Amino acid sequence: MAYGLTIDQVRKTNRPTTIQTAWGSVASLTQMAEYEMYRVDIAAGGAQQLHFFANRYHAFVESGEVIVRTLDDAGRESAGLVRAGETLAVPKFLVHAAASETGAIFYLFGPRAGDSLRAVFTESPENAVAAFTAIKNSVLPRIGTPTTDVRDKYWGRIETIVSDDEIAAKRIFVQKDGQGSLEYHVEKRETYYIHSGKVKVGLRIGRAENRSIVMTPGESYDVRPGVMHLRVGLEDTVIIEVSTRDSDSDSYLVEDGQTYRHLDIDSQTTEKQEQLA
């Protein structure tokens, strides 16, 4: 008789499909019903067309510098610079475009709203390239804002990209051999995307069975409510996380990561046999 969830029910990771564009690429990183997360790669010299979304998003630049053009309600154009480690709110219906001279990677987060990242374009690709060429050597104002609630941990660092009544997003750095605490959430749903490195996600399921999955760059994993989980750095790892509304009161500690060692059930059996030998 099975108790609780089995490993087959929780072990599935996702390998998002990347869609190539004239200016770079975009990938949808989760299919969760409550929120969206995308990775956007701008190639060196790449320039998006001006466009808008019928949904609000929040952007976070992981690497490189992004030039952002926007139009106000009167049709006046302005431009600014967002650097690595900075965030930018993208309100619904804001006409905007991103470009980069040297190449950049940024992430978009938002509540789930119908069709994934459907853009309405307001200029041609040729005009987008011409506009970028005209301003790329200009001194542009910085319009990005830093992450908030930056916390150094014994296992690495965590910083908040956005946190509101609907969604939250974080950048999580797990150092090699660093291990967080085993915890679970009653209401919160969350998704990990591995930007770089290699991490083990430890799980406790069924009849208190310890299991693990190993994740590498380009993979995502959806953590459902009630699943006990922790993170172990097999290498220095950067995780981009999106979730439903975040609340410390919905994080329940099971094992303290400073004193607990997560061993899979097969490893536990082997260790006991060695102790008895």
Q: Mark whether 97 and 61 lie in a shared domain.
A: yes
pTM of the model: 0.92
d(CA 116, CA 109): 11
Using alpha carbons, list the distances in angstroms from residue 162 to 48, 153, 158: 24, 19, 12
Please name the residue ranges forming H helices in 48-194. 125-135
Same domain, 177 and 249: yes
Q: Domain count for the chain, please give it.
A: 2
Asked if 211 and 268 touch (Cβ cutoff 8 Å), the reply is no
d(CA 64, CA 114): 30
- Same domain for 137 and 162, yes or no, is no
- Sign of dihedral through CA atoms 156, 176, 168, 222? negative
Boundary of a domain, candidates 93, 127, 145: 145
CATH of the domain at 255: 2.60.120.10
Q: Encode the chain (277 residues) as per-residue pLDDT tens digits.
A: 355 677 778 888 999 999 999 999 999 999 899 999 999 999 999 999 999 999 999 999 999 999 999 999 999 999 999 999 999 999 999 999 999 999 999 999 999 987 678 899 999 999 999 999 999 999 999 999 999 999 999 999 999 999 999 999 999 999 999 999 999 999 999 999 999 999 999 999 988 899 999 999 999 999 999 999 999 999 999 999 999 999 889 999 999 999 999 999 876 543 443 444 4
Domain hosting 156: range is 7-12+149-276
How far apart are the C-alpha atoms of 180 and 178, rounded to whole Å? 7
62 CB-near residues (< 8 Å, 6+ apart): 84, 105, 106, 107, 171, 195, 238, 240
Does 1 fall in a domain?
A: no
The answer to whether residue 2 sits within a structural domain is no
Q: What is the DSSP string of 98-133?
A: EE-SS-EEEEEEEE--SSTT--EE-S-HHHHHHHHH
Which of these three, 83, 113, 145, is where a domain ends? 145
